Amino acid sequence: MPFVTPQTLGEYDVIVVGSGAAGGQTAYTLAMEGAGVLMIEAGRNYTPESETPMFHAPHLAPLRGTSTPDKPFGFHDATVDGGWQVPGEPYVNTSEDDAGRFDWWRARMLGGRTNHWGRYSFRNGPYDFKPKSRDGLGFDWPLGYEELAPYYDKVEMLIGVYGANDGLENTPNSPPGCLLPPPKPRVSDLLIADRAKRLGIPVVAGHRAVLTQALDHRNLPRKLHPGNANAQALLAAHMQRRAACFWATPCGRGCSVGANYQSTTVHLPPALATGKLDILVNAMVHEVFLGKEGKASGVRFVDKATGSTGEARARAVCLAASACESVRILLNSKGARHPEGLANSSGKLGRYLMDTVGTSVQGQVPLLEDLPPHNEDGASGGHLYAPWWAYGEQLRGKLGFARGYHIEFQGGRTMPSMRTAAGLEWLTGGSYGHRFKQDARRYFGSMVNFDGRGEMIPNEHSRCEIDPVVKDRWGIPVLRFHWQWSEHETRQAAHMQKTFAAIIGAMGGRVRGEVLADGAKAIAPGGSIIHEVGGAIMGDDPRSSVTNGYGQAWDVPNLFVADGATFPSNADKNPTLTIMALAWRSADHLLERMRRREL
């Protein structure tokens, strides 16, 4: 029975806390290679096959499915429990201003945020691992691109990522057989690509974790688990159960046919099929406890059903509760030998929290009006994107900010929703009645939206700590956030605004609203892009970092951090593919140490 209760826990090699991208990948790698794993998840069990409202039209939902404070991404969003605020689980900000606030999105469910996420899956490039060596700012990683590349290969092959190899600077190619073919561009994509290229901005195939064709179940399992016939057979069987995308439904609701990556549809089923993985849901871990030799012995958790405290034990503990939650667990794991939190001899725990720099511009393009109907849903998210293009100019100090950004964009028609014809006054001048209906049809599908996704440099002012007063509903102390952008980020946001307006202009379109020259006004609040990383950074030196390059805590050799908390920088590339590649590498390291009986 893979789903266990606090009363039926067994003996385990490794406890994995959390079941999202990091926990899913870690448990998968460990269980497929024969380790006994207990996964502990704070949220409830979640079954995408039966719970995903893929085909529900907006009129079947309250308020036609529009977003509400409870469901910010709409009624049908896959996040069944969670959001910017989680009932009974507060957090504290030292400032409520947009500039000094940190917004924290949490999903409390099996699979975490991977049930909803945008599925953009980019590799960090060689520069991204050594940013300090390149421009003197932030920190270098204790590993380089070459060391992580084999794990990017594996994750791409396992989860299925579409994309193409374009040979662009700091935008790595994948070896043959790793990527699936990208979907065809939409009409709006083609127009954006053409006009952006005229401005010197490259536009290439997007990379997203969506199956544009069935996975090669005959060859991939052998490459992923060489010499492990059992894992190969289980994975081959599972790959055949995942269908290819049928280009029709919003990925944010999840995918009941397994055509996109969710931990619940990709990592957990084969891992459970090994019989080596047990899952305990509705259990909120709050502490890692140590044994005699100062090694981690297990974790304490609150059973949310009864409110009672339980304990689970294992030879090693791996935290994958998402960056800030893993930091919170460590900070709350205080003892006589570590009064400032576990694994915190450097004093760096909670420091160097980062998010992605984000800002958006929307426009309307007359060339896209009244196009003949055709399927523009596609793979739900971006078919194309624009990787950062100005590395040289930037290094020569010509831009006024040190790190780059990429552009994600959307256009075209998707299923009309509550807001499709809302807010058109800037175009219609306020039409109504028959004229408004004509206007709504005319403008539907002619809007384009550009989102910048840029690198933030870690700074001393963006961090989290335990609030001395506030506790959650189970009495667990909560996090307090401090946040500050530097001019590198605000200038970058201003550059995004100017660039997006230029592309819309080159398309013959009109920008909606003001183009913000002041980046401090343009930049989205910290945390709001939901790419938070850092807080337990990895490094070469135990005096200035929390873990080594394998996510292994310097202070506790059998304690690992597998999520984004260990990132010492946050490249413009969305973090999740890198989280999974690092988690696989870290799990391999853990397995090797266990085989050698070093843990």
Q: Which stretch binds ligand FAD (CB under 6 A): 8-16, 87-95, 322-330, 514-522?
A: 322-330
Burial class (CB in 10 A: 0-12, 13-18, 19+), 422: exposed
How many residues touch ligand SF4 under the rule CB under 6 A: the total is: 11
> Is residue 17 part of the contact set for ligand FAD (CB under 6 A)?
yes
Q: Are 290 and 46 in contact (CB under 8 A)?
A: no
Q: What CA–CA distance (Å, rounded) separates 354 from 406?
A: 17
> Is residue 138 part of the contact set for ligand FAD (CB under 6 A)?
no
Q: What CA–CA distance (Å, rounded) separates 432 from 424?
A: 11
> Is residue 255 part of the contact set for ligand SF4 (CB under 6 A)?
yes
> Is residue 251 part of the contact set for ligand SF4 (CB under 6 A)?
yes
Choice between 260 and 548, CB closer to ligand SF4: 260
Taking the complex as a whole, the smallest distance from the CB of residue 132 to ligand FAD amounts, in Å, to: 23
Using DSSP's 3-state secondary structure scheme, residue 348 falls into coil
Q: Which stretch binds ligand FAD (CB under 6 A): 164-172, 230-238, 316-324, 590-598?
A: 316-324
For the chain, give the number of residues.
599
Q: What CA–CA distance (Å, rounded) separates 122 from 145?
A: 13
* From 36, 43, 142, 452, residue interacting with ligand FAD (rule: CB under 6 A): 43
How many residues touch ligand FAD under the rule CB under 6 A: the total is: 37
Choice between 178 and 210, CB closer to ligand SF4: 210
Taking the complex as a whole, the smallest distance from the CB of residue 53 to ligand SF4 amounts, in Å, to: 11
**Ranges within 529-548 binding ligand FAD (CB under 6 A):** 530-531
> Is residue 245 part of the contact set for ligand SF4 (CB under 6 A)?
yes
Choice between 120 and 409, CB closer to ligand FAD: 120
Sign (positive/negative) of CA torsion 362, 366, 368, 370?
positive
Question: Of these partners, ligand FAD, ligand SF4, none, which one is at the site of residue 22 (CB under 5 to 8 Å by kind)?
Answer: ligand FAD
Using DSSP's 3-state secondary structure scheme, residue 104 falls into coil
* From 58, 75, 91, 116, residue interacting with ligand FAD (rule: CB under 6 A): 116
Choice between 356 and 492, CB closer to ligand FAD: 356
> Is residue 28 part of the contact set for ligand FAD (CB under 6 A)?
no
Taking the complex as a whole, the smallest distance from the CB of residue 253 to ligand SF4 amounts, in Å, to: 7
How many Å is the Cα radius of gyration of the chain? 23
Q: Which residues contact 274 (CB under 8 A, 6 or more apart)?
A: 31, 32, 34, 230, 231, 234
**Ranges within 265-284 binding ligand FAD (CB under 6 A):** 284
> Is residue 114 part of the contact set for ligand SF4 (CB under 6 A)?
no
* From 285, 353, 582, 591, residue interacting with ligand FAD (rule: CB under 6 A): 285
Q: Which stretch binds ligand FAD (CB under 6 A): 20-28, 90-98, 330-338, 438-446?
A: 20-28
Cβ neighbour number for residue 272 with a 10 Å cutoff: 19
Six-digit token pair at 5? 């209760």
Q: What CA–CA distance (Å, rounded) separates 445 from 376?
A: 9
**Parallel, antiparallel, or unpaired for β 277-280 and 37-40?**
parallel
Taking the complex as a whole, the smallest distance from the CB of residue 361 to ligand FAD amounts, in Å, to: 19
Residue nearest to ligand FAD (CB): 20
Q: Which stretch binds ligand SF4 (CB under 6 A): 12-20, 28-36, 249-257, 438-446?
A: 249-257
Q: Which stretch binds ligand SF4 (CB under 6 A): 171-179, 251-259, 322-330, 332-340?
A: 251-259
Question: Of these partners, ligand SF4, ligand FAD, none, which one is at the site of residue 246 (CB under 5 to 8 Å by kind)?
Answer: ligand SF4
Choice between 38 and 368, CB closer to ligand FAD: 38
Q: What CA–CA distances, in Å, run from 559 to 8, 17, 555, 587? A: 24, 11, 9, 12
Strands (E), 150-305: 161-162, 179-180, 204-205, 277-280, 283-290, 296-303
Expressed in angstroms, the distance from the first to the final Cα of the chain is: 28
**Lookup result for tokens 């662009």:** 168
Using DSSP's 3-state secondary structure scheme, residue 381 falls into coil
Choice between 259 and 533, CB closer to ligand SF4: 259
Binding marks (x or -) toward ligand SF4, 533..572, rule CB under 6 A? ----------------------------------------
* From 118, 163, 270, 387, residue interacting with ligand FAD (rule: CB under 6 A): 118
DSSP symbols for 266-280? IIHHHHHHTT-EEEE
Q: What CA–CA distance (Å, rounded) separates 224 from 100?
A: 44
Q: What CA–CA distance (Å, rounded) separates 573 from 564?
A: 13
Taking the complex as a whole, the smallest distance from the CB of residue 251 to ligand FAD amounts, in Å, to: 10
| Buried residues in 496-522 as b, exposed as e (16+ CB within 10 A) | bbebbbbbbebbebebbeebbeebeeb
> Is residue 113 part of the contact set for ligand FAD (CB under 6 A)?
yes
> Is residue 298 part of the contact set for ligand FAD (CB under 6 A)?
no
> Is residue 246 part of the contact set for ligand SF4 (CB under 6 A)?
yes
> Is residue 215 part of the contact set for ligand SF4 (CB under 6 A)?
no
Burial class (CB in 10 A: 0-12, 13-18, 19+), 279: buried
With vertex at residue 248, the alpha carbon angle to CA 244 and CA 250, rounded to the nearest 5 degrees, is 100
**Ranges within 261-300 binding ligand SF4 (CB under 6 A):** none
Cβ neighbour number for residue 373 with a 10 Å cutoff: 7
- Residue numbers at the binding site for ligand FAD (CB under 6 A): 17-23, 40-43, 105, 107-108, 112-114, 116-120, 284-285, 320-322, 325, 329, 530-531, 563-564, 574-576, 579
- Residue numbers at the binding site for ligand SF4 (CB under 6 A): 210, 245-246, 248-249, 251, 255, 259-260, 379-380
